[in-house]
Amino acid sequence: MKRLLLLLLLSLFAIASLALWATVKRLDGEITSRFEGRRWELPARMYSRPLELYPGRKLEKKQLMQELDLLDYRMSEGLTTPGEYWINGSHISIHSRSFHFSDSKRPDKIIVMTLKNGQISLLIDKKSGQKISLFRLEPLHIASIYPGDNEDRLLIRISDTPPLLTQTLLLIEDKKFYQHIGIRPLAILRALLANLKAGKTVQGGSTLTQQLVKNFFLSSEQSLKRKVNEALMALLLEYHYSKDEILEAYLNEIYLGQDGKRAIHGFGMASRFYFQRNINELTPNQMALLVGMAKGASFYDPRRHPQRAKTRRNLILKNMGIAGVLQPAVVPVLQQRPLGVVERAPSGITRYPAFVQLVRRQLKQDYQEEDLQNEGLSIFTTFDPILQQQAEKSLGEVLSTIEHERKMPEDTLQGALVICSTDQGEVQAVVGNRFPRQAGFNRALDMRRPLGSVIKPAVYLSALGRPDQYNLLTILYDTPLTIPTSGEDWQPQNYDKTFHGPVPLRQALVHSLNVATVQLGMEIGLDNVIKTLHHLGISDEIKPFPSLLLGAVDLPPIAVLQMYQTIAAGGYKTPLRTILAVTDQDNRILQRYPLTVEQAADPAAVFCLNTALEEVTRTGTAGTLQQRLPPGLRVAGKTGTTNDLRDSWFAGFSDSHVAVAWVGRDDNKSTGLTGATGALRVWAQLMKKIATRALDLQPPPDIDLYFSDVVTGRLFSDQCRQGTLVPFIRGGVLPSVITCTTPGTPRRQSQQRTQSEDNLERTLQKGIRQFLRIFQ
């Protein structure tokens, strides 16, 4: 009987051993696969363009302060930690943060710049005293694309973590971390006895390794089986990995707060969430607060329970002083300080939904949604946060002013505003709603409205591209016109309901004469006008109806921006782009988005067109711009108004920026606004606020300039120097010649050629400057 019982016990022991071995084997595989693979699903992060600083750059102090404020810099004379700046007269010192750009990592650095007369006159490295030719501030984080579990974390390495933070964490959570093997049996036994005696949980015996296992691998279930698995996995984790690897994982895994559906994990993200600082910028009292929250992030939430959180923080500080981590004399001083938590938590919801939507659409051409949510990508964009602020403010201010002037109910009008760089087609700001924080319908991208007269430059460019038939002074006929259609015949009308008879092509565009435009478009052919629109960048299918010549084509503002970017760049189309580069979580380049340029139209024809569009803003339908823009800011553009004054458009450009504004109503009712009384005002308000260069049209080498009578459409004879200089494509048809009304200095062809050569030289110089700007 005893032998049988012994055999039974041995059998049970063998079975238990096999079961334990199987469990250990399974847990071991789970640990190594998770820990050696991708430990976390990391959100993709989008960044704005970095502000580039260099001697000679135009930069107002106000603009720099706005940028530093967005980046959460603090004024401090000592500049002891990154993220601080100090102003001393015209000298501004900045202690920049370290940042890994797409092309290189830049350590934190103190720079000193001198601002004089609205530009940077000197830029030096404070440590070395050497001059700096170019310095980039770190870009603004503008959005994240979160994984399915909505966990948000900023990965930190233990080597980059302040030693005081890890010392404090181990002091409070696990003093013997570097001595134990993953579990502490005596501590577990003491905690068990204390809890049994109290009849509730009053003491924990878990090591930091066990806490990591519980958070990283296991559920929150309270059972003996889970506790056994926790202990086994802690032992296995310590067997496979170093103490520093385990501690680093804990620093990134610990739950430290909640922002709606977004869970805040790790000390790196918590330092941004509570203090808007990077982890290496935290003060000792801020570190103490975060370490104290490890015991219970919700219970010690400093925004919801500030007194409870302060009591916990002060206890941590006291223990730091007792342990010698802090000098005891500084502890009372730190305990008196406020929590220092930013009042409003930085939301995980982007402040710039319209621009982010455009970025995501471009990303989807190259990346799966799962990759964007899980792989920790860094997306470097063309976004300009200062320009975006100015665009949002311009739209909101002007719409409110118009509603007040016209006694409309508040929020009657809506609008959209998009802006890009002229030469590179980089989209810098997108406003799809007068309430820009709302992530609903994006009018800049998704609204399709008739264009009105903003389409007309495509009609006139189609003609000017045929210099053997048309030039800026070709006579068009603004007379009654009937066009047969499948239904009722179409009889286009001018806005003023009158006809203007024979009129030069240039004047027809400047004053936006509908009938003359339709007459010209029908001569050229609707298919040819559609072809020009496609060359300029309009990708939508356009049906060949005569009404398209007056803008009966429904397109979003972003499409109009592409069209006008091509015109502004002299006929060279650069596909609009929002992304410059994408890197993985290890900062390796995955993809660059280089500048691509193609010639879409004859530069000489575009130059002729642009001189007329500049005249539109002087004496034409956009003439009121002269009263709204700063003196000397030359621009070009075109107004657009649709039937019953439903849509108000203005599209235009300076030398460095292209912008399109739309004003209307969501119910498609009349606004009572023309392009000049609505959208033009939004556009002008924006251009008045931003640092933009005046238009500087440089003629191509095959352009000759002639003094002309722009009213009659004829040239003055060679003996005259009066009237308006009008460009013509060399070798093309020329208007008839009239004699002087006032004697002038003779102008010879050789003088014309010299002027063209000078203009060509200026054009080349401008091209070199633009090339250098691209690669700065």
7-21, 30-44, 309-323, 485-499: which has the minimum mean pLDDT? 7-21
pLDDT band of residue 651 (cuts 50, 70, 90) is: very high
Average pLDDT of span 343-371: 86
Average pLDDT of span 327-350: 87
Angle formed at CA 187 by CA 184 and CA 193, multiple of 5 degrees: 140
220-224, 401-405, 563-567, 733-737: which has the minimum mean pLDDT? 220-224
Average pLDDT of span 553-568: 98
Of 197 and 342, the one with more pLDDT: 342
Of 444 and 40, the one with more pLDDT: 444
pLDDT band of residue 717 (cuts 50, 70, 90) is: confident
**DSSP string covering 355-368:** HHHHHHHHHTTT--
Angle formed at CA 432 by CA 427 and CA 434, multiple of 5 degrees: 125
pLDDT value at residue 764: 38
Average pLDDT of span 108-126: 95
Phi, psi of 20 (to 5 degrees): -65, -45
pLDDT value at residue 310: 96
Of 206, 421, 453, 654, which residue is the catalytic one? Answer: 453
CA nearest neighbour of 211 among 268, 302, 295, 319: 295
Average pLDDT of span 469-478: 97
pLDDT value at residue 719: 77
Average pLDDT of span 166-192: 83
34-48, 142-156, 381-395, 569-583: which has the minimum mean pLDDT? 34-48
CA neighbours closer than 13 Å in the CB half-sphere of residue 425: 28
- Render pLDDT for 72-96 as a digit per residue (tens, 0 to 9): 999 999 899 999 999 999 999 999 9
Average pLDDT of span 308-321: 96
Helix crossing, 208-216 with 224-240: angle to 10°?
Answer: 110
Residue 301 has pLDDT above 90, yes or no: yes
Most confident of 60-64, 365-369, 465-469: 465-469
Residue 202 has pLDDT above 70, yes or no: no
234-238, 256-260, 356-360: which has the minimum mean pLDDT? 234-238
Helix (H) or strand (E) holding 192: helix 185-198
Average pLDDT of span 398-423: 97
Average pLDDT of span 479-483: 95
Distance, CA of 379 to CA of 375 (rounded, Å): 12
- Render pLDDT for 125-154 as a digit per residue (tens, 0 to 9): 999 999 999 999 999 999 998 887 788 999
Across all residues in the chain, what is the average pLDDT? 88
Query: What does the H/E/C string look like for 5-72?
Result: HHHHHHHHHHHHHHHHHHHHHHHHHHHHHHHHCCCCCECEEEECCCCEECCCCECCHHHHHHHHHHCC
Q: In sequence order, what are the beta bridge partners of 714?
A: 709
Residue 760 has pLDDT above 50, yes or no: no
pLDDT value at residue 168: 96
7-21, 610-624, 700-714: which has the minimum mean pLDDT? 7-21
pLDDT band of residue 236 (cuts 50, 70, 90) is: confident
Of 697 and 746, the one with more pLDDT: 697
Of 67, 151, 173, 615, which residue is the catalytic one? Answer: 173
Of 152 and 647, the one with more pLDDT: 647
Cα-to-chain-centroid distance, residue 461: 32
Residue 274 has pLDDT above 90, yes or no: yes
Residue 626 has pLDDT above 50, yes or no: yes
Would you call 565 exposed, middle or buried from its count of C-beta atoms within 10 A (0-12, 13-18, 19+)?
buried
Residue 419 has pLDDT above 70, yes or no: yes
**Which residues have a Cβ under 8 Å from the Cβ of 223 and sit 6 or more positions away?**
none
pLDDT value at residue 339: 95
Give yes or no: 453 in active site.
yes
pLDDT value at residue 689: 93
pLDDT value at residue 649: 98
**DSSP string covering 249-295:** HHHHH-EEEEETTEEEEHHHHHHHHHHSS-GGG--HHHHHHHHHHTT
pLDDT value at residue 163: 95
Residue 1 has pLDDT above 80, yes or no: no
pLDDT value at residue 751: 32
Distance, CA of 49 to CA of 60 (rounded, Å): 18
- Percent of the chain exceeding pLDDT 90 equals 72
Distance, CA of 339 to CA of 289 (rounded, Å): 8
Average pLDDT of span 635-658: 97
Within 10 angstroms of residue 306's Cβ, the number of other Cβ atoms is: 14
pLDDT value at residue 775: 34
Residue 756 has pLDDT above 70, yes or no: no
Distance, CA of 607 to CA of 702 (rounded, Å): 11
Size (the chain), residues: 776
Distance, CA of 496 to CA of 195 (rounded, Å): 90
pLDDT value at residue 150: 83
Angle formed at CA 44 by CA 38 and CA 49, multiple of 5 degrees: 140
**DSSP string covering 545-596:** -GGGGGT--EE-HHHHHHHHHHHHTTSEE---B-EEEEE-TT--EEEE----
pLDDT band of residue 438 (cuts 50, 70, 90) is: confident
pLDDT band of residue 462 (cuts 50, 70, 90) is: very high
**Which residues have a Cβ under 8 Å from the Cβ of 383 and sit 6 or more positions away?**
46, 48, 49, 140, 142, 352, 355, 359, 427, 428, 429, 578
Angle formed at CA 404 by CA 402 and CA 406, multiple of 5 degrees: 65
Residue 5 has pLDDT above 80, yes or no: no
Residue 755 has pLDDT above 60, yes or no: no
Residue 762 has pLDDT above 80, yes or no: no
Give yes or no: 173 in active site.
yes
Residue 759 has pLDDT above 50, yes or no: no
pLDDT value at residue 13: 58
Structure tokens at 14: 């063998």
pLDDT value at residue 191: 59
pLDDT value at residue 750: 32
